[in-house]
Amino acid sequence: MDFKFTEEQEAFRQEVRSFLEEELKKGTFKPGCDGWIQGYSPEFTKKVAGKGWIGLTWPKEYGGQGRSEIDRLILTEEMLRYGAPAACHWFADRQIGRSVLAYGTEEQKKELLPQILKGEAYVGLGMSEPEAGSDLASLKTRAVEDGDYYIIDGQKMWTSCARFMTHVYLVARTDPDAPKHRGISEFIIDAGLPGITISPTIDITGSEAWAEVFYDGVRVHKKYLIGEKNRGFYQILGQLDYERAGLERLMGNYPLLDAIIQFTRETRRDGKPLCEDRLIRQKLAQLQIEFEVGRLLTYRVVLVMEEGRAPNVEAAMAKAYCTTFEQRLASVATEILGLYGQLIAESRWAPILGMAPHSYLGSKGYSLQAGTTEVLKNIVATRGLGLPTE
């Protein structure tokens, strides 16, 4: 067992930090919570692409860097630590590019991967529907063959990054007569096709990071079906592991953790710095313990990926733990800040850039998106502990 990074890995971390420090100085971004999912900055994504940091682990023959999963972990850890606005490329880099690499045709790889690598393809995730969330296989959106095309009709909910996506990863039913898990296929389609209507979902934080997307007779060429027709559900399962696996489940709100500790150093109450208050110290120390546990769980996921295995149970465990950590972080920060801590970023009286209320409200959804905590615990119970399915 070796918990140390190599010299090269430490040097890479330093390189990423220097880049982010420089961009902060230039004012390209301000640190914020949820930058990976809500931070829209084509300019930043272009710069990351210019560094070769999108598709870091993808094979060189497809324009990637062929680097290790550990290097990618370092890159994403630093992006999250700085609260960088990486939403334009995050999903394509994390899971959709991998899916194309695993199941796509050569033509699909040559068309889509270079666009992702250049930071020009922003892919939203169109899986959930009003009647299909945890039980995704119940989805009703239909893709019906018509010559060289599929005609797509249906409705998706919670499609991420829909307001700026150039492409949408879409799952649809291609065989209505087959058992529900066996009639589903995956597509990656142009988000600007006629018949697609995007209706933003304004969430509890006031953000429009997600949307309902309606598909009304959308004609999609068959060349955009990914992998095997009707086997999509099994392909999705692998992809969901990557969606759950990352450090963003632990560090989506890292700027808040950093800021609240700093706040207790700089703020005096009753003549004493807050960080000398026993209760506050205990709470911060407890958060730090939980953060380190979460970090080990997420590092383990990366090691499993580095061994070429699918991080199924490991990712489920890490996401279930880490998202509840982020919820506790938001609660503790709100308690420490007191009433002013409830002011949103737009208020000039809001402490620490109004991150606490954003995080408090936003973090409620963390244990739902990409699989609810209950569903993840089912995975741990059945595939981890070998308990029977219900």
Residues that bind ligand FAD (CB under 6 A): 125-128, 133-134, 158-160, 210, 365, 368-369, 371-372, 374-375, 378
The span from the CA of 29 to the CA of 41, in Å, is 8
Choice between 71 and 129, CB closer to ligand FAD: 129
Choice between 41 and 378, CB closer to ligand FAD: 378
The widest CA-to-CA distance across the chain, in whole angstroms, is 77
Taken in order 289, 292, 297, 298, the sign of the CA dihedral is positive
Q: Which amino acid is at 308?
A: G
* Residue pointed to by tokens 């065989």: 175
Shortest distance, position 247 Cβ to ligand FAD, whole Å: 18
The span from the CA of 92 to the CA of 124, in Å, is 8
Comparing CA positions, the residue from 206, 146, 139, 198 lying closest to residue 167 is 198
Choice between 24 and 375, CB closer to ligand FAD: 375
Strand partners, 277: none
- Asked if 90 contacts 79 with a C-beta cutoff of 8 angstroms, the reply is no
Choice between 310 and 375, CB closer to ligand FAD: 375
Query: Token pair of 182, please?
Result: 């066996």
Choice between 126 and 294, CB closer to ligand FAD: 126
- CA geometry: angle at 369 spanning 364 and 373, to 5°? 75
Choice between 153 and 306, CB closer to ligand FAD: 153
Choice between 109 and 173, CB closer to ligand FAD: 173
- Asked if 212 contacts 202 with a C-beta cutoff of 8 angstroms, the reply is no
Shortest distance, position 95 Cβ to ligand FAD, whole Å: 11
Shortest distance, position 39 Cβ to ligand FAD, whole Å: 15
Ranked by CB distance to ligand FAD, the top (closest) residue is: 133
Return the DSSP state at 166: S
Shortest distance, position 270 Cβ to ligand FAD, whole Å: 39
Shortest distance, position 366 Cβ to ligand FAD, whole Å: 7
* DSSP notation for 358-389: HHHHHGGGGGTTTS-HHHHHHHIIIIIT-PPP
Shortest distance, position 9 Cβ to ligand FAD, whole Å: 31
Shortest distance, position 141 Cβ to ligand FAD, whole Å: 11
